[in-house]
Structures are given as C-alpha cells and as structure tokens.
Amino acid sequence: MHTGEKLYSCTQCQKLFCNQPSLEEHVNVHGSKYKCTECGKCFRSRQALPVHRRIHSGEKPFECTVCSKRFSTSGNLVVHSRIHSGEKPYKCHDCDKAFSRSTYLTDHMRVHTGDKPYKCSLCDKSFSRSSSLQSHKRVHSSRRPYDCRYCGRMFKRSQAVKHHVYTHTGATPYSCRHCADCFTHHSQLKKHLLKSHNEGTWFTCHICETKFSQSVDLKVHLRRHEGVKPYVCSECPKSFCTASHMKRHQLTHSDIKHFCCGACGKFFKDKAYVPRHFKRCSDRLGFNGTCGIVF
C-alpha cells in the first residue's frame, strides 16, 4: 500500500519522491533541452515550455464556466471544477475518505502512518505537510508582510488577510450546492453541509462522543481530556492546549494594547473585550460603523 513516504532521492538535486517511476520521470528533466529563460526550469518537450511560461506572463486562457475564474493550464481548471461538482476521485483505502487532489490524499495518508517528514530547524517540531511547516515557521518570526487595505492590520499569512477582508466587505464566497445559504469561511460551509445535509464525515471523540466538523478541533479537544498542554508561556510556567490561547495569555505580560474601539478610540489588550465595549459606545454615541475592532 502506498504510504506517501518519500524514499526515492534524485542524485542530482536531492529532491524526494514517493516511488521509482516518479523519480525516473523527474530525472529526465535534468537532461531536458527546453529551458525557461525566466527561471531556468527545464522541460523534456517543446510543448511544455510555452505552457510553463504562462506562469511568468500571467496568461490564463482556461475559464471556469461556473464562476469565471481563470487558469493557466487545462489541468488546473479540471482540478478547480471539482469544487463545483464535488468530485473526489482520490480515495483512502484505510478510512474511505476521498479527496479532489492526489497530493491531498498523499498528505492524508500520513494520518494513518504517523509519518511527519517535515521538521522545523528552529524547534524540532515535525509536520506531516510542508505547508504546515511553512505556516509554523512564522511562529518564530515577527514579520507580517500582508496588510489589510481597509484598516492596515498586518498578517503573517496571505490566507489570513484574505479572510480578514471579508469582515469589511461582508463577502460570503462559499455557497452551498444544496440550498441558498452562503458562508464567509470554508469551515462554516463544511459544518453546514454536515448539519443540514448530512454530507461529509464527523470527527467524533471516543471518550465523550462530542462531534467536530474538523479534525484539528477534535485534536485540541482530546488534549483537554488528556491534560496535554504543549504551549508554554515564555514569561511564566503557565501552559495551554492551543497556540492561540497562549498568545492571548501572553498579552497579560505586556503593556501594549493592540485593539482599538472604532467608536471611541479606547485601546484594549484583548480583542475579545472590544465587541461588547463597541456596542455600548455605538449605542451611546450614535455611531453607525460596522467595524468595532481596529488593530
């Protein structure tokens, strides 16, 4: 059975692959004569090079007939179309869970194998996906390169600022294919599909049978049963089940107040205090603004 573990290494560039055929296909790239002048990437066929160049030119000739989103390759359009059709052709043989992309299945298989090949060089924490490692590395950095064009708030991840902008615009880009309901976040749509249309798989706690729509929520929940608190405050011995709870606690050690009421300008250490205060202020001052938190 395919485990997703990458044991086959290219002797020329040390890139890893899950199986011998994939490695052999990759090795041919090093002997390719068709080279991109922009980035130096090589290709075996003349036809592959102009397709690749669309990445640099921004050309996207393939359009989704449902949402009009455009793509540089037909393959990317096919994968995208599965969002609308719900097609998930890649199935796990251990739990029957299905995925729209083969890479998602490869990452998922590590849930069963326990394999975590991506290791942080700063704290030795390991991850099953490279994207998880990249996100984790930002914990060690104070750099926030992404800013909100509406309020100027800075974020470490592009996806985070994208979701934040929805609070200003009121956008609900995730629509249910069974009814007219729309949602701001994909996690909200996933929960709706489970509750209202019985579509998807609940993650159930084996101790108390509480159900969760996301595996990460079950993982955190189990820590509470087991008393596991892996996140320790750097200022005191207090520990927490999640990184977000630890960061919220660490504000108590700082005099900095990041969060501001949009009605009266008062600052707070904790974001959670702002909405209730903002409501009182807006009622008292007759303020009609919709954003009560300014970072």
Q: Is residue 63 part of a domain?
A: no
Q: Is residue 119 part of a domain?
A: no
pLDDT, mean over the chain: 81
Q: Is residue 205 part of a domain?
A: yes
Q: Which two tokens stand for residue 166?
A: 């929805």
Percent of the chain whose pLDDT exceeds 90: 11
Whether 270 and 207 map to the same domain: the answer is no
Structure pTM? 0.46
Inform me whether the pLDDT recorded for 287 exceeds 70: no
Query: Among 157-166, 232-241, 250-259, where is mean pLDDT lowest?
Result: 250-259
pLDDT tens digits along 218-236: 989 999 999 988 888 888 8
Last residue of some domain: 179, 205, 224? 224
Number of compact structural domains in the chain: 2
Q: Is residue 266 part of a domain?
A: yes
Q: Which two tokens stand for residue 163?
A: 């979701």
Whether 158 and 205 map to the same domain: the answer is yes
What's the average model confidence in pLDDT over 30-42? Answer: 74
Query: Among 108-122, 174-188, 221-235, 277-291, where is mean pLDDT lowest?
Result: 277-291
Whether 216 and 159 map to the same domain: the answer is yes
* CA gap 295, 282 in Å, rounded: 18
Whether 153 and 199 map to the same domain: the answer is yes
Residue 81's H or E segment, with its range, is helix 74-85
Q: Which two tokens stand for residue 250?
A: 């660490």
pLDDT tens digits along 66-86: 888 888 888 889 988 988 888
Inform me whether the pLDDT recorded for 96 exceeds 50: yes
Q: Is residue 281 part of a domain?
A: yes
Last residue of some domain: 224, 249, 270? 224
What's the average model confidence in pLDDT over 189-216? Answer: 91
Residue 25 three-state SS: helix
Q: Is residue 171 part of a domain?
A: yes
Domain range for residue 214? 146-224
Whether 214 and 267 map to the same domain: the answer is no
